[in-house]
């Protein structure tokens, strides 16, 4: 039998994940939302949109994120070669005060956990 792909109207689910703190106290905020869902067979998939916002008065560079419980694909970040570790694209190396960067990932099941591994 054939699988049918159905993508319903996007849900506007938005929640704010507590800002993870490294020993240096990285002032970065993560805003998660589910921008769409669909079902293939018996599995429901979620498109997670994550906004990374610099909430400090200083630029942040070389931000590396550890993403745990990720079972799907990521768009907008690049793997670093270290397990579960991603960084911003080369053309977006500095996150200025008040600015944002967006990435998305798709997976079934619960959202991934995003932590700051390092930054300058």
Residue 44 in this model has a pLDDT that exceeds 50? yes
Output the pLDDT for position 15.
47
- Domain ranges for the chain: 29-118
Q: Fold for domain 29-118?
A: Immunoglobulin-like (2.60.40)
In sequence order, the 6+-apart residues with CB closer than 8 A to the CB of 52 are: 28, 29, 30, 63, 65, 95, 100, 101, 102, 103
Output the pLDDT for position 26.
59
Predicted confidence (pLDDT) per residue in 82-97, tens digit: 999 999 998 888 999 9
> pLDDT-derived band of residue 110, with 50, 70 and 90 as boundaries?
confident
Report the run of H or E that residue 73 belongs to, with start and end.
strand 73-75
> pLDDT-derived band of residue 109, with 50, 70 and 90 as boundaries?
confident
Q: Whole-model pTM?
A: 0.76
């Amino acid at each position: 039998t054939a699988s049918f792909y159905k993508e319903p109207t996007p849900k506007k689910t938005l929640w704010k994940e507590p800002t993870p703190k490294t020993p240096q106290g990285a002032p970065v905020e993560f805003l998660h939302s589910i921008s769409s869902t669909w079902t293939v067979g018996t599995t429901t998939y979620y498109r997670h949109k994550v906004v990374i916002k610099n909430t400090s008065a200083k630029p942040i560079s070389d931000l590396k994120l550890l993403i745990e419980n990720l079972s799907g694909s990521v768009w907008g970040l690049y793997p670093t070669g270290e397990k579960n570790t991603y960084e911003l694209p080369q053309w977006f190396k500095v996150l200025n005060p008040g600015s944002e960067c967006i990435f998305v990932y798709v997976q079934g099941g619960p959202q991934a956990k995003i932590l700051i591994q390092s930054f300058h």
